[in-house]
Amino acid sequence: MSIVAPAPHIPRGLAVGTLVATVLVWSPFALWPGAVWQPLAQTGSYVALFVLTWTNPKVKVLLVRTLQRWVINPLVRVGFAVGLNPFGVAVLETRGRVSGQPRRTPVGNGRRGDELWIIAEHGERAGYVRNIRHDPHVRIRLRLGLRHRWVDGIATVRPDDDALARQRSVIAWHPLRALNAVNVRVLGADLLSVQVRLDLPGRALVHDDASTVTTLASVHSLSADRTG
């Protein structure tokens, strides 16, 4: 009896994200013609990522995570350190599930009121998703008013949530969020929604999976442990 191999899987939103990214790359060239090698190289990388997602998503995740760890994320963290955030992202801090040390990762800023939604491009493979599974207490560094501040929160992984629909809802015609959404779709292989309930004055934080209520005092105590 022969075994039929599973058909290649193309994640929802990948084709649209790749097309939009390609259009964005070629738009400046169409307005101001110049050296064609740059848009061609970027288009080639998008096509390669598309094919890799289709044929071997594990390899794509490894490549993208390496690029993010050693190039993209350090640049974003340096920008935050000097007060620059040109891409409008936030920084998520989780507790390492093995080391117990703080781990900081730039993420899309999907704040809506007292919630912040993150679309994890690598799904359950993302290190911060696995950290949240182990310890849902997190901190988010985002802009509040004119300054960037750390905000405590409780994170919950939402595998039953429609990640693409959630992404569209948090964009809300915001250009920087839209740009981040395109990057997430192009670089991602398995989108997953993560909900963070932010610690705002007068509100208790509820972690639905554990059916428990975390008081603000306990969250502030955790924050003090991290910064002390």
Question: Residue 126 domain-assigned?
Answer: yes
Could you tell me the pTM of the whole model?
A: 0.81
Q: In this structure, how many other beta carbons lie within 10 angstroms of the beta carbon of residue 26?
A: 15
Question: Residue 96 domain-assigned?
Answer: yes
Mean pLDDT of all residues in 81-103: 89
Question: Residue 91 domain-assigned?
Answer: yes
Lowest mean pLDDT among 50-54, 93-97, 114-118, 126-130: 50-54
Question: Residue 25 domain-assigned?
Answer: no
Phi-psi region of 111 (alpha: psi -120 to 50; beta: other; left: phi over 0): beta
Question: Residue 67 domain-assigned?
Answer: yes
pLDDT band of 216, cuts 50, 70, 90:
very low
Residue 164, classed as helix, strand or coil, is helix
Question: Residue 22 domain-assigned?
Answer: no
How confident is the model over 21-45, as pLDDT tens digits? Answer: 999 999 888 888 877 888 899 999 9
Containing domain of residue 106, as a range?
Answer: 57-227
Question: Residue 16 domain-assigned?
Answer: no
Question: Residue 69 domain-assigned?
Answer: yes
Query: Does the structure show a pLDDT above 70 at 51?
Result: yes
Question: What domain count does the chain have?
Answer: 1
CATH number of 99's domain: 2.30.110.10
How confident is the model over 164-186, as pLDDT tens digits? Answer: 999 999 998 889 899 999 999 99
